[in-house]
Structures are given as structure tokens and as C-alpha cells.
């Protein structure tokens, strides 16, 4: 039995369906925040929690960029400020400002930020590599650049930030 | 440290001597305190805030003399006399309330012999307790004890 016109059309449609390629791009989740009126982000998997209110206990003998420690459900974590490390002006002291609980491969710490802008999903291709012209002190700390809400966002490498901080930078 | 002990409730505790240093609640394991006296002859003793590398925030005259000693056998019987400002208290601190220094704090803090932190609960209040350890494994720290003595 010869194929009818309709059989041919259906066959063509069936073959076309089989050749459809999934072009959906991989996305990553970022925690976007502001520090000294500039936008930054961390990969969300490196941010365990965002704390809205936490009592920070002062520890003497520490640099000004180490605000103190917090008690997070039975764990004690340091709270650091990144302004010095990122060569940003000092933010106005605000004990109500959020603290990101960052967890790197080996080190964890709280990071005080001015405020959290959003937690977003972005396609990987929208993240540009860091420019070769960036300041020397930022090299290694920046893993990419993107735009969100018409403003530039600098994607930071949490492990490198903790490593640099531990060796006395910032 | 050697002062971990089991009490009747089977909870591990560390007996510490509690005092203020540089305006902060601080403690040393009781096993590292040789003696405490209200000796008026305190000329030979060093304010404990100075020993720890803290800024002194008190000029009170009422002070007690505390003999700090290293309990590490191979370090000998080094000891120094330090001045602390009352009140001084003895406390059994639950081991579960004692925390190692967070890594970034351990890397950046500059206090001599600060080894751990604890959350001290008193009635409704929770305060941070700085736990110092005169027993140090580094020869540099041991020589510091000798230098101070």
C-alpha cells in the first residue's frame, strides 16, 4: 500500500520531532548583593544562609575588617568586611545589615554586606570573563562579570577571598 | 589542656578561672592558675591585659595577683604573676559551649595565647568568653612566657 500524502506529511513531522535539539542553556544561581554602592555576587552554593539579624560579639586584637563572631545555632563563625580587600570605601556601620554565611572548600565565615539585592538564575553564557584590564588587587578575586537590572555585577570567588583574607589582605 | 573532667551529670566540663581583661570576659583553665592572692605587693606582677596583648581599659587599684603556670611537663615549671581586676570567679564550663577559633579569626587575631571561644550564659544574657591557654606548643610562645617572667 502506497503512502498517502498525509502519511508523508506525518512521517516528515515525526522525523522533524526527532531532530529537535534541546537548546536550553545551563543556568546558575547567584546571590547578588551591594557593597559600597557597587553590585557583587557569589555562587549560591557557596552561601549557606543569609542572616538578617545577628548579634556580633567583638573580639579584641583583630583588624577593623574583622567585625567579630556570631553564634549560628551552635556554631561560632567570624564576620568579616570585604571593603578593604576590594578597595572600597568603608560602608556606614549598620548592625542590621545582612550577613552572608559563606562556605568555601575549607573555610567558612560570615560576610557583612550593605544589602542583598536578589537571588537570581542566570544563563552561564551571560557571565563574561573578568577583563584583563582589571586592577591587580582584584585579579583572582573576580570570576566573572554580568549585568543585572542595568547595573554591572562582579562575580566573586569566595575561596580566593577567604584565602587572601587569611593571609592578611584586607 | 588537662582540666577536662567528668562531673556527676556525665557532662564534660572545663574548670576555668573567670575574669575581665581589656574589658572582655576572659578565662584560663583553673589547672593553669597556681595561686591567687590579694597581695598588696603587686609591683612584680604584670597586668593581664598587657600579657595578652590587649589594650588596658581599667586603672582600678583593687587588683588581685594570679600566678599563671605552664602545665606542660617538658616546659618545666615556668610561671608568671599577673594582675587581674575583680570580680574573679570559678566556673565549670560545658565542653559543648567551647569552640575553636574560626579559621579567619585564628589567622588574623593578634592576642597572645587566645585559643578558644565560649558562649557564657548568665540568666537571660549570653556573652562571649575568651579562653586563653598558657600552655602552648610553640617554642616561641614558651619563650614569651620566659620573657615575661
pLDDT at B147 over 80: no
Q: What is the distance, to the nearest Å, from the Cα of residue B145 to the centroid of all Cα atoms in its chain? A: 13
Inter-residue contact A147 to A57 (CB < 8 Å) = no
Partner-chain contact B99 A75, CB within 8 Å: yes
CA distance B128 to chain A (A): 6
Residue listed under C-alpha cell 502506497: A2
CA distance B52 to chain A (A): 9
Residue boundaries of the structural domains of chain B? 14-148
Mind listing the pLDDT tens digit for each residue in A26-42?
A: 899 999 999 999 999 99
What is the pLDDT confidence band of residue B75, given thresholds at 50, 70 and 90? very low
Residue B101: its H or E element: none
| Cα pseudo-dihedral B93, B96, B98, B102, rounded to 10 | -170
CA distance A130 to chain B (A): 26
Main-chain phi, psi angles of A24, to 5 degrees: -65, 125
Partner-chain contact B53 A61, CB within 8 Å: yes
By Cβ distance, the residue of B104, B109, B127 closest to A162 is B104
**Whole-angstrom Cα distance, residue B25 to residue B118?**
10
**Whole-angstrom Cα distance, residue B30 to residue B28?**
6
Lowest mean pLDDT among A14-28, A101-115, B17-31, B90-104: A14-28
Partner-chain contact B55 A60, CB within 8 Å: yes
Query: What average pLDDT does the segment A100-119 reach?
Result: 97
Mind listing the pLDDT tens digit for each residue in A62-85?
A: 999 999 999 998 899 999 999 999
By Cβ distance, the residue of A63, A109, A167 closest to B102 is A109
Residue A16: its H or E element: helix A5-18
Grouping H, G, I as helix, E, B as strand and the rest as coil, residue A67 is strand
> Which of A125, A123, A128, A135 lies closest to A155 in space, CA to CA?
A128
Contacts of B32 (CB under 8 A, 6+ apart): B3, B68, B69, B70, B71, B133, B134, B135
pLDDT at A101 over 60: yes
Q: What is the mean pLDDT of chain B?
A: 77
Best mutation target among A56, A59, A99, A163 (most B Cβ atoms within 10 Å) is A59
Partner-chain contact A61 B109, CB within 8 Å: yes
Lowest mean pLDDT among A1-5, A43-47, A146-150, B39-43: B39-43
What is the pLDDT confidence band of residue B62, given thresholds at 50, 70 and 90? low
Q: Long-range contacts: B141-148, Cβ < 8 Å, 24+?
A: B141/B112, B141/B113, B142/B70, B142/B72, B142/B75, B142/B78, B144/B112, B145/B70, B145/B75, B145/B78, B145/B80, B146/B78, B148/B46, B148/B51, B148/B80
Per-residue CA distances from B110 to A61, A106, B9, B106, B113 (Å): 5, 22, 37, 9, 9
Does this model's pTM top 0.90? My answer is no
Partner-chain contact A59 B109, CB within 8 Å: yes
For chain A, first and last CA: distance in Å? 81
Best mutation target among A61, A64, A66, A111 (most B Cβ atoms within 10 Å) is A61
> How many Cα neighbours within 13 Å face the side chain of A90?
8
**To the nearest whole percent, how much of chain B has pLDDT over 70?**
68
pLDDT at B70 over 90: no
Name the DSSP class of B133. Answer: -
Query: Number of CB pairs < 8 Å for A and B?
Result: 71
Partner-chain contact A107 B119, CB within 8 Å: no
By Cβ distance, the residue of A55, A62, A108 closest to B108 is A62
For residue A57, the cross-strand partners are A69
Instruction: Please tell me the predicted confidence (pLDDT) of residue B63.
Output: 67
Reported ipTM: 0.84
Contacts of A151 (CB under 8 A, 6+ apart): A39
CA distance B34 to chain A (A): 26
What is the pLDDT confidence band of residue A23, given thresholds at 50, 70 and 90? low
Amino acid at each position: 500500500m502506497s503512502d498517502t500524502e498525509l502519511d508523508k506529511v506525518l512521517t516528515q513531522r515525526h522525523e522533524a520531532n526527532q531532530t529537535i535539539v534541546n537548546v536550553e542553556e545551563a543556568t546558575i544561581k547567584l546571590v547578588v548583593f551591594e557593597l559600597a554602592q557597587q553590585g557583587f555576587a557569589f555562587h549560591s552554593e557557596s552561601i549557606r544562609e543569609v542572616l538578617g539579624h545577628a548579634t556580633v560579639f567583638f573580639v579584641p586584637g583583630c583588624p577593623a575588617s574583622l567585625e567579630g563572631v556570631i553564634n549560628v545555632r551552635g556554631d561560632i563563625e567570624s564576620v568579616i568586611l570585604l571593603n578593604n580587600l576590594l578597595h572600597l570605601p568603608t560602608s556606614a556601620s549598620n548592625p542590621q545589615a545582612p550577613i552572608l554565611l559563606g562556605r568555601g572548600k575549607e573555610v567558612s565565615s560570615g560576610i557583612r554586606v550593605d544589602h542583598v539585592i536578589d537571588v537570581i538564575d542566570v544563563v552561564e553564557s551571560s557571565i563574561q570573563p573578568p577583563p584583563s584590564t582589571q586592577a591587580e588587587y582584584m585579579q583572582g578575586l573576580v570570576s566573572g562579570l554580568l549585568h543585572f537590572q542595568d547595573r554591572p555585577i562582579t562575580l566573586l570567588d569566595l575561596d580566593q577571598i577567604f584565602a587572601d583574607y587569611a593571609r592578611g589582605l584586607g | 589542656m588537662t582540666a577536662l573532667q567528668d562531673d556527676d551529670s556525665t557532662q564534660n566540663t572545663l574548670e576555668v578561672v573567670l575574669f575581665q581583661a581589656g574589658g572582655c570576659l576572659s578565662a584560663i583553665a583553673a589547672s593553669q592558675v597556681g595561686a591567687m592572692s590579694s597581695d598588696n605587693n603587686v609591683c612584680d606582677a604584670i597586668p593581664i591585659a598587657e600579657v595578652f596583648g590587649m589594650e588596658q581599659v581599667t586603672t582600678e587599684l583593687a587588683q588581685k595577683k594570679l600566678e599563671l603556670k605552664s602545665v606542660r611537663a617538658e616546659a618545666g615549671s615556668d610561671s608568671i604573676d599577673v594582675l587581674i581586676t575583680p570580680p574573679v570567679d570559678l566556673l565549670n564550663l560545658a565542653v559543648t559551649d567551647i569552640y575553636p577559633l574560626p579559621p579567619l579569626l585564628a589567622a588574623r587575631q593578634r592576642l597572645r595565647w587566645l585559643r578558644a571561644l565560649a558562649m557564657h550564659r548568665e540568666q537571660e544574657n549570653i556573652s562571649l568568653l575568651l579562653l586563653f591557654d598558657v600552655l602552648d606548643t610553640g617554642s616561641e610562645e614558651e619563650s614569651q612566657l620566659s620573657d615575661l617572667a
